[in-house]
Copies of this chain bind each other. A is one copy, B any other.
Amino acid sequence: MHSLDANFTIVAPAQEIAAALDQRIDRKTKPLGALGQLETVARKIGLIQQTLTPQLANPQMLIFAGDHGAARAGVSAYPQDVTWQMVENFLAGGAGINVFARANGLGLSVIDAGVAHDFGADRAGLIDLKIAPGTANYLEEPAMTAAQCAQAIEQGARAVLGLAAAGCNVVGFGEMGIGNTAAASLITHCLTGMPLAECVGRGTGLDDAGLARKQALLAQALQRYRATGGDNDAFRVLAEFGGFEIATMVGAMLAAAEARMVLLIDGFIVGAAALVAVHLAPALLDYCIFCHRSAEPGHAAQLQAMNAEPLLDLGLRLGEGTGAALAFPLVRAAVAFLNEMASFESAGVSDKA
């Protein structure tokens, strides 16, 4: 059993205001429940902020990037260099997440949690939290040491404190790391108990032979872990399979929930970080909005384990936080209806006969 160096105090929102929130939602000029999942989101944010008039302030996307030792073994359709190349694409504003964050009014920062590349000093938009230039290869040894894992969590937490100080109260999580669907598959298997085969998918686009190879390699990694006495402790699983971007994200999520922010959870890899964070602090779930259902098969196991019903189901499998950025207008709309819609009384509309 491992523990965190950093302490997080994450408490479930008080429920006293829930009845008043329900009443406010139900008296809006609409049939009862007619705004479906938007009503659930409005209620959740009202609870997080403990108010009938929540506000979303200075929304930000954080994109966590890292490399994986196992990537060179052939668990991805793309070469490892794509990680740093895509970070450069983020910094130049040309990636999908840049387009969607711009379109939907979200700020964006990139965190180098452990990319195997030197980006040079003082790059605008890039936060250097590099633990090491890529994790070790979990086919041979743990991806990171317990100390590295704790450091990543602590650094992720500190990055979020910076956002909170800037008045941000809603943060979207995204990631980049060639090989990170493989790490997410292993984490998902260990923390949900779903068979490994059902947690492994094509990632960025493996063909049948590539998928079979990925399945075999991950089974081998799991076998090695179990042979060393590896259990399903969330912290140990995280350190064992990585990556640094996932561990740093776990810390950021814990700090964001502690700061009572709204957490926008993207797809499969961000979902793996959320799964770890929820195991470390179950009340974190009350701060999460699950933004989309990924086409990656292991995502279903995560959603089931966290009892989550995502907002979008568009067949997305790009990662980067694109699902979170795309769902953000729905979150904003949920808050807007709670604040701006008239009630039957205020609008002089007759209620149900």
Residues of A near any B CB (own CB < 8 A): 28-38, 77-79, 81-82, 85-86, 88-89, 92, 94-96, 98-100, 102-104, 204-205, 295, 311-318, 322, 326, 329-330, 332-333, 336-337, 340-342, 346-353
Contact = CB atoms under 8 A, between A and B. Distances in A.
B346 A94 contact: yes
Contacts of A349: 82, 85-86, 89
Contact of A342 (B37, B92, B332, B348): B92
Contacts of A312: 312, 330
A352 B31 contact: no
Number of copies of chain A assembled together: 2
7 contacts: A29-B89, A29-B96, A34-B318, A37-B314, A95-B347, A205-B352, A312-B330
Contacts of A31: 77-78, 204-205, 317-318
Given A34-B317, A94-B341, A333-B99, A81 B350 contact: yes
A47 to B, nearest CB: 19
Contacts of A99: 333, 336-337, 340-341
A276 to B, nearest CB: 24
Given A92-B342, A96-B337, 15 more contacts: A29-B89, A30-B96, A31-B205, A32-B205, A35-B322, A85-B348, A85-B349, A88-B347, A95-B342, A99-B333, A103-B329, A103-B333, A204-B352, A205-B352, A329-B329
B318 A94 contact: no
A92 B29 CA distance: 13
B38 A316 contact: yes
A336 B77 CA distance: 27
